[in-house]
Amino acid sequence: MSQNVRVRFAPSPTGKLHIGGARTAIYNWAFARANGGTFILRIDDTDPTRSTEENTQIILRAMRWLGLDWDEGPEVGGAAGPYAQTERLPLYREAAERLLAEGKAYPCFCTPEELEADRRAAKERKDPFQGYQRRCRNIPADEARARMEAGEPYTIRIKVPEDRGDVVINDAVHGTVTFAAKELDDFVIFRSDGTPTYNFATVVDDAAMGITHVIRGDDHLSNTPRQVMVYEALGAPVPVFAHISMILGTDGKKLSKRHGATSVEEYRDAGYLSDAFVNYLSLLGWSLDGETTIIPRDVLASRFSLDRISKNPATFDPKKLDWMNAEYINAMTNDEFIEKLLLPALVQQGLMDADPAVGVDGAWMDKLAAIVKPRTKLAGDIAGICAPIFATASSLVYDEKSVAKGLAKDGMGTILDAARVALGTLPADEWEAAKIDAALEPLPDALELKKRVVFQAVRVAVCGNLVSPPLGETMELIGRDDCMARIERARTMAL
């Protein structure tokens, strides 16, 4: 790309960062990185009733967790700052004054009642032009100035040139989009309370910040012709627009909380990995080649392109996100898994000492990681998988359903008796997964029972449930004495 790419993500801090906003941020970031450009974060906080500093902080934290580093913006600064709209109010005022002075905007003194009456009349006479009826457009400049100075309330409207014609946008996603001239009225750029409207503030900022590409949700496509009017009035180049599709839930309806889609931080807290989350979201409307699903961050940051964004709505499928998260966890080395997920989860659950140097047997940990990692979809799964291993014969919690199904049935006491004898022949220094399995192996034949029945009974006795990791490995990690004690305890539950 010959031009020096500058893009921005401009969230309004009226809420937390959600899936849709996060995807917009990812696309802007990736596009900047792929083109050696600049990624700007701007806080669009001009709505004072709904914007909060707390939400701004939540958004910044979420951006950091997503790993979307910004080159200019809050905390890092930059030559085009400040980067919060509330700190830029004088700039909007200045720009509006300039347009007023140049006759490209004008004060409008219409009262809400007059506007309403005009609207109704236009509707009744089926006027092809239903917008603002331009009552104040031709008030002579000196009269208008006098009324403003006398304190009469006014808004400022942009003066759409008489001969402007249709507005044609060449959107990088949607292609050519034409907005009919009759849709364009002299819209308000400054309210009577002295605050700028979104369409004005955004364009003043995008122009001042030298934004070359506006990548945002296609709910903003309908704002674009008005924004083009502002660029033209300001004499600023119109950027490339790329309006990205909506995200739908698996039921085909617009994504919302009903679909379990929550804020980015809730995904973080639920144990999703940032890399997996970013990878999954990047595919909601974009593809590398139409088939690759695992796209590491560095590949996204070098290969992202606007021409592979789809026009069609994307579907957010939590199951696919879980699958992707599990893929990323599985692709970790054991050491990485131990350091990033296993130890923190164990410490958090109070199963291990907070000081990782205390009481960690490297070989034991490695074996634990080997059985826990392939079973972890979310970091939050780890504690549950590990709990039976870290329990003791007296503290182990037996799952009622598992006991009813695998232990509390006629004849199962004999399984545990036989298991105790078989395992009792294994000396402590030979308490290894393969040998444990080998000791249990002959039991089904000897007892004339199905293999599944025998192993289930031992599994419930030792782990308290039916779904634990491979039995031999788990029993090795628990240790001989505790396994024997657990079987002893479980014997009272077996019939």
Residue 432 is given by DSSP the state -
Is residue 197 within the footprint of ligand GLU (CB under 6 A)?
no
- Which of 5, 6, 7, 12 is the binder for ligand GLU (CB under 6 A)? 12
Residue 283 is given by DSSP the state T
The residue (of 10 and 173) whose beta carbon lies closer to ligand GLU is: 10
Q: How many residues sit in the footprint of ligand GLU (CB under 6 A)?
A: 7
Q: Which residue is nearest to ligand GLU (CB)?
A: 44
Cα–Cα distance, 262 to 260 (Å, whole number): 6
The residue (of 13 and 107) whose beta carbon lies closer to ligand GLU is: 13
Q: Name which of 370, 364, 454 is nearest 415 in CA terms.
A: 454
Residue 285 neighbours by CB under 8 Å, 6+ apart: 23, 244, 245, 247, 309, 310, 312, 313, 314
> C-beta of 87: minimal distance to ligand GLU in Å?
15
From 8-16, 301-309, 322-330, 385-393, span contacting ligand GLU (CB under 6 A): 8-16
Residue 243 is given by DSSP the state E
> C-beta of 457: minimal distance to ligand GLU in Å?
58
> C-beta of 259: minimal distance to ligand GLU in Å?
20
Residues 256-295 that bind ligand GLU (CB under 6 A): none
Q: Name which of 235, 236, 229 is nearest 158 in CA terms.
A: 229
Is residue 171 within the footprint of ligand GLU (CB under 6 A)?
no
> C-beta of 149: minimal distance to ligand GLU in Å?
33
The residue (of 236 and 484) whose beta carbon lies closer to ligand GLU is: 236
Is residue 11 within the footprint of ligand GLU (CB under 6 A)?
yes
Count of alpha carbons within 13 Å of 39, Cβ hemisphere only? 20
Q: Name which of 428, 427, 424 is nearest 416 in CA terms.
A: 424
Binding mask 198-237 for ligand GLU (x = CB under 6 A): ----x-------------x---x-----------------
Is residue 10 within the footprint of ligand GLU (CB under 6 A)?
yes
The residue (of 57 and 333) whose beta carbon lies closer to ligand GLU is: 57
> C-beta of 143: minimal distance to ligand GLU in Å?
36
Cα–Cα distance, 460 to 473 (Å, whole number): 15
With residue 53 as reference, give the H or E element that holds it. helix 53-66
> C-beta of 265: minimal distance to ligand GLU in Å?
18
> C-beta of 77: minimal distance to ligand GLU in Å?
20
The residue (of 13 and 406) whose beta carbon lies closer to ligand GLU is: 13
The DSSP annotation for 23-74 comes to HHHHHHHHHHHHTT-EEEE-B----TTT--HHHHHHHHHHHHHHT---SBBT
Residue 73 is given by DSSP the state B
From 5-13, 33-41, 309-317, 320-328, span contacting ligand GLU (CB under 6 A): 5-13
Cα–Cα distance, 32 to 73 (Å, whole number): 14
**Which residue shows structure tokens 């994504």?**
255
From 9-17, 156-164, 332-340, 349-357, span contacting ligand GLU (CB under 6 A): 9-17
The residue (of 7 and 324) whose beta carbon lies closer to ligand GLU is: 7
Q: Burial code of 298-308, b = ≥16 C-beta within 10 A, e = fewer?
A: ebbbeebebee
The residue (of 46 and 402) whose beta carbon lies closer to ligand GLU is: 46
Cα–Cα distance, 177 to 172 (Å, whole number): 10
Instruction: Tell me, yes or no, if 257 is annotated catalytic.
Output: yes
Residue 252 is given by DSSP the state S
Q: Name which of 91, 121, 96 is nearest 108 in CA terms.
A: 96
Residues 21-60 that bind ligand GLU (CB under 6 A): 44
The residue (of 230 and 369) whose beta carbon lies closer to ligand GLU is: 230
User: Which residue among the candidates 16, 104, 253, 257 is catalytic per the annotation?
Assistant: 257
Q: Name which of 451, 452, 462, 472 is nearest 493 in CA terms.
A: 462
| Residue type at 291 in one-letter notation | E
> C-beta of 8: minimal distance to ligand GLU in Å?
7
From 7-15, 65-73, 140-148, 450-458, span contacting ligand GLU (CB under 6 A): 7-15
| Residue type at 60 in one-letter notation | L
From 6-14, 156-164, 344-352, 378-386, span contacting ligand GLU (CB under 6 A): 6-14
Q: Give yes or no for a cis peptide into 153 (omega within 30° of 0).
A: no
Task: List interacting residues with ligand GLU (CB under 6 A).
Answer: 10-12, 44, 202, 216, 220
Indicate which residues carry an active-site annotation: 257
